[in-house]
Amino acid sequence: MPSELRFSRSDSRLPAPQAPVAGQSPDTARWCARRGWPVHPLAVRRKTPVANCGHCRTDRHAPAACPCLADGGWCHGFHAATLDQERIRQWWGRRPELGVGVSCGPAGLVVVDIDAHPAQPPARDRILPGIPISDDVDLTGLANGFHTIAVLAALRGRQSPAEDATTLRVRTPSGGLHVWYRAADHRRWQSSVGTGTGRALAWQVDIRAHGSYIVAPGNTTDAGTYTPVGDTLEPAPLPVWLAQELERTGHLPATGVPAPRPVPPRAQQAVLGAGGGRSRVRRVLAAVLAPVEACGQVPEGAGFSDALNRAAYTLGGLIAAGRLPREEAESALRDTAAAARPGQEHRIGHIIAAGLGAGLERPLHPTGRRP
């Protein structure tokens, strides 16, 4: 640990911020969606999501089971986030005064949230979780997250993310900083905001990733505007050294995430068995879609992409064999996938198109065999 570190209040200063990305929320929402960042509405001039409808406030249900999402509603905050430009037009067309939030997980974002709240620093063993700071290190003047992330960076011989001009940085109204990175390694980095897990990168430095959202650049609240700093408006790949620190501090999902529920043998027989009528179609769809539906029981992981691809491939084969009506099967598949992973319509569409297309080329006969 460098013993010569000194801190002052001026350490949290940054170059003068640029003008906001966009002057109005509808423009900001479209700007984010074009970059592949699913968006959802925030309450007027606040940094919190729009309140749920009356039904969702009184009826306890998982976000994936909420009927409002399928109907184009925005209940359940970042769970409703979308890339669909038509839905964005509808949401902010009706309420242009609403703010814009970005769902970090589906966007593939890892945002370092640096706070500058005036507070008494904690004990030395809590400044950098898991890293002891010896008594011979002078911490006089250490007062906020800008200081603690600087200590961590100095310890690793790296530049502080607060000074990383290669990536999108956004000054917050409270004087903090959001440093945006792309998760380039396909790992599902977990948030340390609002999780109750106790994980954190450093004192007054949290991570926003899967399981949370971030206020979009250009968004204005009663406290001020979230304003980009410098010339860079795109997130850079997450630095390797930061990824190592996130892994060390528990920002990866726990092992043992439930796998998609297998199709029961009786349901498998329903898929391959004979029979006709509406009841048979419903049984077949329920059996094939069960693993996709099961993914909605956990917010992350659970092999959703694989489950959706397998279901699309199976349905394609059944459609090609004349055993299911295409429009009904495809609609049921899309609805089930959207309920399991709200706000991921673009990704879901690509997976379904690929799996369904492959299945249509190989009809699935009642014997369960393909040509």
**Residue 259 within a domain:** no
58 and 165 inside one domain = yes
Q: Note the pLDDT of residue 98.
A: 95
**Do residues 359 and 317 make contact, with C-beta atoms less than 8 angstroms apart?**
yes
277 and 204 inside one domain = no
Q: Note the pLDDT of residue 370.
A: 44
Q: Is the pLDDT of residue 89 over 70?
A: yes
Q: How confident is the model at residue 194 (pLDDT cuts 50, 70, 90)?
A: low
Residue for token pair 């039904």: 55
Q: Note the pLDDT of residue 271.
A: 39
Of 248, 280, 310, the last residue of a domain is 248
237 and 310 inside one domain = no
Q: How confident is the model at residue 195 (pLDDT cuts 50, 70, 90)?
A: very low
Q: Note the pLDDT of residue 365.
A: 60
Distance CA 95, CA 313 (A): 40
Q: Is the pLDDT of residue 3 over 50?
A: no
Q: Note the pLDDT of residue 76.
A: 85
pLDDT tens for 336-347 read 888 888 888 888
**Residue 222 within a domain:** yes
Q: Is the pLDDT of residue 54 over 50?
A: yes
pLDDT tens for 292-321 read 877 766 555 456 777 788 888 888 888 988
Sequence-distant (6+) residues with CB within 8 A of 175 are: 12, 116
Mean pLDDT within 213-237: 94
Mean pLDDT within 208-223: 94
Q: Is the pLDDT of residue 282 over 90?
A: no
In the chain, DSSP assigns E strands to 39-42, 99-103, 109-114, 169-171, 177-182, 205-208, 213-215, 220-221, 224-225, 227-228, 236-237
88 and 172 inside one domain = yes
- Of 30, 47, 44, 37, whose CA–CA distance to 113 is shortest? 47
Of 197, 221, 248, the last residue of a domain is 248
Residue 19 or residue 147, greater confidence = 147
Poorest-confidence range of 82-91, 252-261, 309-318? 252-261
Instruction: Tell me what the pLDDT averaged over the chain comes to.
Output: 81
**Residue 331 within a domain:** yes
154 and 195 inside one domain = yes
Q: Note the pLDDT of residue 96.
A: 93
Q: How confident is the model at residue 59 (pLDDT cuts 50, 70, 90)?
A: confident
**Residue 260 within a domain:** no
Q: Each residue of 260-287: b (16+ CB within 10 Å) or e? A: beebeeeeeebbbeeeeeeebbebbbbb
pLDDT tens for 166-186 read 999 999 999 999 999 999 877
Of 248, 280, 302, the last residue of a domain is 248
Ramachandran angles phi, psi of 103, nearest 5°: -75, 110
The helix (run of H) or strand (run of E) holding residue 340 is: helix 326-340
Q: How confident is the model at residue 71 (pLDDT cuts 50, 70, 90)?
A: confident
Total tally of structural domains belonging to the chain: 2
Taking the model in full, what pTM does it have? 0.66
235 and 182 inside one domain = yes
Residue for token pair 């609240």: 221
Q: Each residue of 325-334: b (16+ CB within 10 Å) or e? A: eeeebbebbb
Q: Note the pLDDT of residue 11.
A: 47
Residue for token pair 């850079």: 236
Q: Note the pLDDT of residue 15.
A: 41
**Do residues 106 and 304 make contact, with C-beta atoms less than 8 angstroms apart?**
no
Q: Is the pLDDT of residue 277 over 70?
A: no
**Residue 144 within a domain:** yes
**Residue 209 within a domain:** yes
Q: How confident is the model at residue 254 (pLDDT cuts 50, 70, 90)?
A: low
Alpha-carbon distances, residue 246 vs 107, 112, 144, 151, 216 (angstroms): 18, 10, 19, 15, 23
Q: Is the pLDDT of residue 204 over 90?
A: yes
Q: Is the pLDDT of residue 110 over 90?
A: yes
Residue 295 belongs to what domain range? 265-360
Burial class (CB in 10 A: 0-12, 13-18, 19+), 139: middle
Residues in the chain: 371
Instruction: Report CA dihedral (189, 175, 102, 40) to the nearest 10 degrees.
Output: 140
Rank 105-114, 246-255, 323-332 by mean pLDDT and report only the highest.
Answer: 105-114
Poorest-confidence range of 11-15, 205-209, 222-226? 11-15
Residue 93 or residue 4, greater confidence = 93
